[in-house]
Amino acid sequence: MKKILITGGAGFIGSHVVRLFVNKYTDYHIFNLDVLTYAGNLENIKDIEKKPNYTFLKADINNANEIDTLFDTHQFDDVIHLAAESHVDRSITDPLAFIQTNVLGTVNLLNSAKRIWKNNLSSHLFYHVSTDEVYGSLHDGGYFLETTPYDPQSPYSASKAASDHFVRAYYNTYKIPVVVSNCSNNYGQNQFPEKLIPLFINNILNKKPLPVYGKGENVRDWLYVVDHARAIDVVFHKGKVGETYNIGGFNEWKNLDLIKVLCKVMDQKLNRTQGESEKLITYVTDRAGHDLRYAIDANKIMKELGWEPSLQFEEGLNITVDWYLNNKNWLENVTSGAYLKYYDEQYSVN
């Protein structure tokens, strides 16, 4: 039985990847390693926690000894690495936490894998899940290709870029089989309500202001989280060792346009007068160093590995809004305590 270590599986994207792998590959044993930060929540994967091919390991990738011991005990065959600090705004207030988890934590995993796999490297794979933000900000049109030079602009993207470089350096230097994918902005169920879409759903629900950074003109390329999980499955099984695959939905939205669509959908679903939620839009001080536009060219994964997104954005947004409205308990649980403190600090300065 193949033993696969998935890190960050209690978080947003990781929980969808864990679910997909546990349900689809009953001949694999999936180990979900997560330290359960504010962003990790075992509720996200409650439906699969009793499956015989699933084990949860509460551990911190920053603790090299702990990670080494787990590799010794379980002899993982492959790694799919998603654990990270993932929110740009938090990286602006606390960059060191991002360097620790995203850079040092990744190197700890690489070191353990290198040690355990040294006698038969070629039968293993270290899959590093990364972001399109490593490519920087597009100002004059065009798309991010796998060959686009790295140009990270935020502490978050700099930490992810550094981790990508270490993964490739371990491939080049120690011949650890690796694959990297860089994906655009994800949305969907179980996303922590600090990111744009779930934050605004929660605020509309509670009739709180919708804090739009700057003029709302920044552009992001949005992909439904389950489509990202499907892409990770495809890259893990069919990707070529040493290669990079960009993942995206060819689905660019200016923030303000997206927010207006979201307001409309929410008004409909909450039986509010059309236009009511839009009135909550509040322009606040722009994010420091705010990247203007991200846009992924996903042709390589589509042509070489046969992956494509399954959902149109409107459909995905509908499913997402329905999920949040049907899971108000989840929202209430994650938006108490530490979240409220974060929210006050983040938005009171504006």
Q: Which two tokens stand for residue 47?
A: 């439906």
The three-class DSSP label of residue 151 is coil
Q: What number of chain residues touch ligand NAD (CB under 6 A)?
A: 31
Task: Report in angstroms how near the CB of residue 323 gets to ligand TYD at its nearest.
Answer: 17
**Is there binding between residue 105 and ligand NAD (CB under 6 A)?**
yes
CB closer to ligand TYD, 197 vs 232: 197
Residue with tokens 């009739």, as numbered in its chain: 207
CB closer to ligand TYD, 57 vs 95: 95
Tell me if residue 143 is catalytic: no
Site for ligand NAD in 109-168 (CB under 6 A): 129-131, 160
Report the C-alpha gap between 67 and 124 in whole angstroms.
17
Q: What share of the chain is helix, strand, coil (3-state, %, to 5)?
A: 50, 20, 35
CB closer to ligand TYD, 29 vs 228: 228
Tell me if residue 85 is catalytic: no
Q: Which does 14 bind (CB under 5 to 8 A by kind): ligand NAD, ligand TYD, none?
A: ligand NAD
Q: Which does 5 bind (CB under 5 to 8 A by kind): ligand NAD, ligand TYD, none?
A: none
Q: Which does 211 bind (CB under 5 to 8 A by kind): ligand TYD, ligand NAD, none?
A: ligand TYD
Q: Which residue in 156, 171, 245, 324 is the catalytic one?
A: 156
DSSP string, 211-274: EEETTS--EEEEEEHHHHHHHHHHHHHHPPTT-EEEE--S-EEEHHHHHHHHHHHHHHHTTPPT
CB closer to ligand NAD, 112 vs 277: 112
Report the C-alpha gap between 81 and 66 in whole angstroms.
16
Report the C-alpha gap between 228 and 184 in whole angstroms.
9
**Is there binding between residue 40 and ligand NAD (CB under 6 A)?**
yes
Residue with tokens 């040690």, as numbered in its chain: 115
Q: Which does 30 bind (CB under 5 to 8 A by kind): ligand TYD, ligand NAD, none?
A: none
Q: Which does 212 bind (CB under 5 to 8 A by kind): ligand NAD, ligand TYD, none?
A: ligand TYD
Strands 125-131, 219-224: pairing is unpaired
- Positive or negative: CA dihedral 13, 179, 236, 230: positive
**Is there binding between residue 13 and ligand NAD (CB under 6 A)?**
yes
Q: Which residues contribute to the site for ligand TYD (CB under 6 A)?
A: 88, 185, 195-196, 199, 211-213, 218, 220, 255, 287
In sequence order, the 6+-apart residues with CB closer than 8 A to the CB of 48 are 18, 19, 22, 23, 54
Q: Which two tokens stand for residue 269?
A: 């679903």
Report the C-alpha gap between 82 and 79 in whole angstroms.
9
Q: Do the Cβ atoms of 11 and 34 come closer than 8 Å? A: yes
Q: Which does 205 bind (CB under 5 to 8 A by kind): ligand NAD, ligand TYD, none?
A: none
Task: Kindly tell me which residue out of 83, 167, 196, 295 binds ligand NAD, with binding defined by CB under 6 A.
Answer: 83
Tell me if residue 156 is catalytic: yes
Interacting residues toward ligand NAD by CB under 6 A: 7-8, 10-14, 34-37, 39-40, 60-62, 82-86, 101, 105, 129-131, 160, 183, 185-186, 192
Residues designated catalytic: 132-133, 156
